[in-house]
Amino acid sequence: MNLSFFDQFSSPSLLGIPLILISMVFPALLLPSLDNRWITNRLSTLQLWFINLVTKQLMMPLNKKGHKWALILTSLMIFLLLINLLGLLPYTFTPTTQLSMNLALAFPLWLATLLTGLRNQPSASLGHLLPEGTPTPLIPALILIETTSLLIRPLALGVRLTANLTAGHLLIQLISTATTALFSTMPVVSLLTLLVLFLLTILEVAVAMIQAYVFVLLLSLYLQENI
pLDDT level of residue 103 (50, 70, 90 thresholds): very high
pLDDT of residue 107: 93
**74 near 66, Cβ under 8 Å?**
no
Between CA 109 and CA 76 the distance in angstroms is 10
- pLDDT over 90 percentage in the chain: 19
CB-based contact 63:224 (threshold 8 Å): yes
**DSSP E strand boundaries for 176-225:** none
Q: Is residue 6 part of a domain?
A: no
Confidence of residue 28 (pLDDT cuts 50, 70, 90): low
Tell me, yes or no, whether 54 lies in a domain.
yes
CA atoms within 13 A on the CB side of 114: 15
Residue span of the structural domain in which 78 resides: 19-124+138-226
What is the average per-residue pLDDT within 2-23? Answer: 63
Poorest-confidence range of 18-27, 66-75, 166-175, 212-221? Answer: 18-27
Asked if residue 132 is part of any domain, the answer here is no
Residue 216 pLDDT level (bands cut at 50, 70, 90):
very high
Q: Please, are residues 125 and 114 in contact by the beta-carbon 8 Å criterion?
A: yes
Let me know if residue 117 belongs to a domain.
Answer: yes
Whether 19 shows a pLDDT value over 80: the answer reads no
196 located within any domain: yes
Checking if the pLDDT of 108 tops 90, the result is yes
pTM, full prediction: 0.79
pLDDT, greater one: 12 or 72:
72
Q: pLDDT band at residue 1, thresholds of 50, 70 and 90?
A: very low
Q: Does residue 5 form part of some domain?
A: no
Structural domain count of the chain? 1
Assigned domain for 131 exists: no
Question: Does residue 91 lie within any of the structural domains?
Answer: yes
Is residue 121 predicted with pLDDT exceeding 90? no
